[in-house]
Amino acid sequence: MTAQPQHLPRACPVCGAHSLTPAGETSALLAVCDVLVVKALEKLGRRIVRAAPRSAGRFRVMNGRPWHIAHTIWRPQESEVKRALQGAWDVVPAMLTNHSTQPVTPEQVTAMLDEYTRDLAITATPHTFDELLYRFHDRLGLPVYDKREVVTHGY
């Protein structure tokens, strides 16, 4: 019998069903939140580029760069950030209700995502997975499995 790597779901000893460990589940939640932040920043980036009186120049500056970094080039107005983030986190309650057993509320996750994304926009800082990981630990108190720490034992 070969041992499963830590990051794979374990079979329930009673029913045989597979489920994620709490740390694995938190990692899945982190991955979804990572995508939500990038999508929110993309929406903000499109607003920033299109809102300028001379938006053609901004389109040229973007020149194929990803939309989610536009806030690092041009600092958005608070009103642009507010409009871009409207509805960005609407999926969080359903996601947590349907796919999570974590001891956090949708309001906590939404507040953390909103604060983090606003901080990025205000400071013209690019989004990083490591910073979001830090926010998960610091703001939500969730331990997160980091795939970079796993030794695959030949898998």
| Each residue's pLDDT expressed in tens, for the chain with a length of 155 residues | 444 444 444 555 555 554 444 444 567 788 899 999 999 999 999 999 988 777 778 888 898 899 999 999 999 999 999 999 999 999 999 988 887 777 889 999 999 999 999 999 999 999 999 999 999 889 998 876 555 554 444 44
For the chain, which residues make up each domain, given as ranges?
A: 20-143
Q: Is the dihedral of CA 44, 51, 119, 79 positive or negative?
A: negative
Report yes or no: 79 and 103 within 8 Å, Cβ to Cβ: no
Report yes or no: 101 and 29 within 8 Å, Cβ to Cβ: no
Q: Is the dihedral of CA 75, 77, 82, 87 positive or negative?
A: negative
Task: Supply the DSSP symbol for 10.
Answer: E
Distance CA 32, CA 106 (A): 13
